[in-house]
A and B are shown apart, each in its own frame.
Chain A
Amino acid sequence: METTHSLPFDSFLDKMRNPASLDLVRSIKSFIVSFSFNAGNPENDGKRIQDFFLTTEAAIRDHPLWAGSTDEEIDNALEGLEKYVMTKLHSRTFASSAEDIKMDREISEKICLLQTFLRPEHLDIPVVLQNEASWLLAEKELKKINAFKAPREKLLCIMNCCRVINNLLLNASISEDHVPGGADDFLPVLIYVTIKANPPQLHSNLKFIQLYRRQSKLISEAAYYHTNLVSAKSFIVDLNAKSLSIEETEFEESMQAARLVNRVPQITSPTIDKISTFGKQTDPGPSTEMHKRKTNINDHHIAILGSAGSNYPYMEAEAGELTVADVERLLGLYKDVVTKYNSLCNTVRHLSISKTTVSPASEGTNDLLRGRNGTSRDTDCKGD
């Protein structure tokens, strides 16, 4: 459904560099400046930007530079316009309110909990649709969403994810003779994939597309798949034991267990801060605070950490010097190290996920567009 011009954005920029487009460039730049000065108000912002797109569309249609252009060429210019404006205004319009940020965090945290125990059976996903390879591919598409700043490209990540799932359904109906279930099959798989992927800033991304994708483009199939992800998000937000095929007690216990596991990094993060402060030999303020926070967790650790001038007093020790009395302290230190190590691994894992998500952006717009425009999902995935 997307046009496959190789570099519509470059051709838009080329036109903008043409002296004949000076009037347009001025109007676009002055809009961006005036928009940046006003305080954010999502409802209004969406309207203002959409109105600006429409006004500029009219101007482009009448512009000598586009005289005799086909509808497709005009459309490419408008896609370029959307991308240019929304990239410039990204920080002002994307996840710009405290509520959005909070919502993103809550959804992501809930997904983290669900990830620890949710299985396809809980959503009654038929075995023929349980295809790890396909799911992984779909997840990957969804995770790329923050690698792009333009609404069109973000929307394409969703579309690509949905296409992978549709291919899976298609294959199941052909090779496994699975009766096609349409949305009955599609939505549960999309929800499962969304939970597995935990795409960054899910709420903000969906809202951003809704508000800033040119409204004449958020229709039909694109609107349908966008709605499906909105729907998946909404399902996850409201999800409780009754939403799943699971015993209520099992659900509650699993959530509780997941909370305990996920809490470890939160508690130990001050400890990580402390390592760096210790290393720099700065004032003891932070470490005292850290001790206070830790007190209720394990007094023993604190005694060791506090009394010794360094975090790990046994580093210089020889085996022969140790006594039985040291066992308790050693064990305490051992536990502390393991806890830190685990939380560090967690953090690194998260970092590497967000890094892979972001990396395509640094490859430059040309590559982005080529990837985005490719109709084959394989091409899209290889780059990553």
Chain B
Amino acid sequence: MGCSSSLPDRSAGRLSGLNNAENSGVPDAKNLRVKLVLLGDSGVGKSCIVLRFVRGQFDPTSKVVTVGASFLSQTIALQDSTTVKFEIWDTAGQERYAALAPLYYRGAGVAVIVYDITSPESFTKAQYWVKELQKHGSPDIVMALVGNKADLHENREVPVQDGIDYAEKNGMFFIETSAKTADNINQLFEEIAKRLPRPSSS
């Protein structure tokens, strides 16, 4: 779709070659813009992670603007003085919508795949999304595996090591987060930002 990340060589859109919109919103080597798609079972807290990330950044008390939205964007500044604007595309996690996912992850520079550490089913589902993206996603997509609800450790059913092992095997970044306590939320996005390929030439 006409989403423009500043990542080079994204595969072209299906309907037409409408994909070279890099010059809009003036992203350059110092100001990246990237489409991030969120995948994972419903109820794992995908949108809570984003809300925590977006809200925590400027006004922790304000519910307005952000709550309830399934599209959010947030810019972060990195230490090397580059900024990254994440355009976050949430997807519906219910099984009946699984076939629609390609419409959303097409053209994405980042995929964040979320599961709930208290739900082995959601971990299985996360592995399904990883395979799906490996098969059909853009080859240079940056993938992150996220075990959410880390605050519920007494109910943990997916060992940390399982997440680490699986992510390592698939060349992904892994982190456990808690949207509730905000643990590791900013780290997640900062780590992703660091891993983004930089435009080599402009």
B interface secondary structure, majority: loop
Is the pair B104, A231 in contact by a Cβ cutoff of 8 Å?
Answer: yes
The reply to whether B47 and A207 form a contact with Cβ atoms under 8 Å apart is: no
Taking CB atoms, residues of chain B closer than 8 Å to A219 are 2-4, 21, 24-25
A235 proximal to B (CB < 8 A): yes
A residues 159-174 near B (Cβ < 8 Å) are: 166-174
Q: Bound state CA distance, A242 and B94, in angstroms?
A: 13
- A46 to B12: give the CA distance in the assembly, Å: 14
Chain B residues positioned under 8 Å from A238 (CB to CB): 99
Which among B15, B21, B48, B99 is the interface contact of A211 at CB below 8 angstroms? Answer: B15
Assess whether B3 is in contact with A220, with CB atoms less than 8 Å apart. yes
Cα A171 to Cα B67 in complex, Å, equals 9
Give chain A nearest CB distance to B201 CB in angstroms. 21
Within 8 A of B (CB), among A205-237: 207, 210-211, 213, 215-221, 223-228, 230-231, 234-235
Given known pairs A219-B4, A224-B71, A231-B100, the reply for A46 and B21 (CB within 8 Å) is no
**Are B94's CB and A124's CB within 8 A?**
yes
B4, B63, B92: the one within 8 Å of A187 (CB): B92
In the complex, the answer to whether B68 meets A180 with C-beta atoms within 8 Å is yes
Q: Which residues of B contact A231 (CB under 8 A)?
A: 97, 100, 103-104
Residues of B close to A166: CB separation below 8 A: 68-70
Which one of B21, B67, B92 lies within 8 Å of A184 (CB-CB)? B92
Interface size on B, residues (CB 8 A): 43
- Could you tell me if A220 and B92 are in contact, using CB atoms closer than 8 angstroms? no
Q: Is B73 an interface residue (CB 8 A)?
A: yes
How many chain A residues sit at the interface, stated as a range, is: 35 or more
Inter-subunit contact B103/A234 (CB<8 Å) = yes
Q: Nearest residue in B to A179 (C-beta to C-beta)?
A: B48
By a CB distance below 8 angstroms, the chain B residues around A213 are 2
Q: Does B23 contact A (CB under 8 A)?
A: yes
Residues B23 and A186 in contact, CB atoms below 8 Å apart: no
User: Is A47's CB within 8 Å of the partner chain B?
Assistant: yes
A167 contact set on B, CB distance < 8 A: 68
Does B90 sit at the interface, judged by CB under 8 A?
yes
Question: Quick one: which of A46, A174, A187, A215 contacts B67, CB cutoff 8 A?
Answer: A174
A374 sits at the interface (CB 8 A) = no
Chain B window 76-101, contacts with chain A (Cβ cutoff 8 Å), 1 for yes, 0 for no:
00000000000101111110110110
- By a CB distance below 8 angstroms, the chain A residues around B93 are 183-184
- Is A50 in contact with chain B by the CB < 8 A criterion? yes
- One digit per residue, 1 when the CB lies within 8 angstroms of any chain A CB and 0 when it does not, for chain B 93-131 equals 110110110011000000000000000000000000000
**A286 interface residue per 8 A CB criterion:** no
CA distance in complex: A50, B21 (Å): 11
Q: A184-B93, A231-B104 are in contact. Are A223 and B3 (CB under 8 A)?
A: yes
Given contacts A182-B50, A220-B87, contact A215 B2 (CB under 8 A): yes
A230 contacts B103, CB within 8 Å?
yes
| B97 contacts across to A, CB distance below 8 A | 187, 231, 235
CA distance A174 to B64 in the complex (A): 9
Q: Could you tell me the distance between the alpha carbons of A155 and B80 in the complex, rounded to whole angstroms?
A: 38
- B→A interface (CB under 8 Å): 1-4, 15-21, 23-25, 38, 42-43, 46-48, 50-51, 63-64, 67-71, 73, 87, 89-94, 96-97, 99-100, 103-104
Some 25 contacts from A to B, beta carbons below 8 A apart, are A50-B18, A166-B68, A166-B69, A166-B70, A167-B68, A169-B67, A174-B63, A174-B67, A180-B51, A182-B68, A182-B69, A184-B46, A186-B92, A210-B1, A215-B2, A215-B20, A217-B24, A219-B24, A219-B25, A221-B71, A221-B87, A224-B3, A234-B99, A242-B96, A243-B96
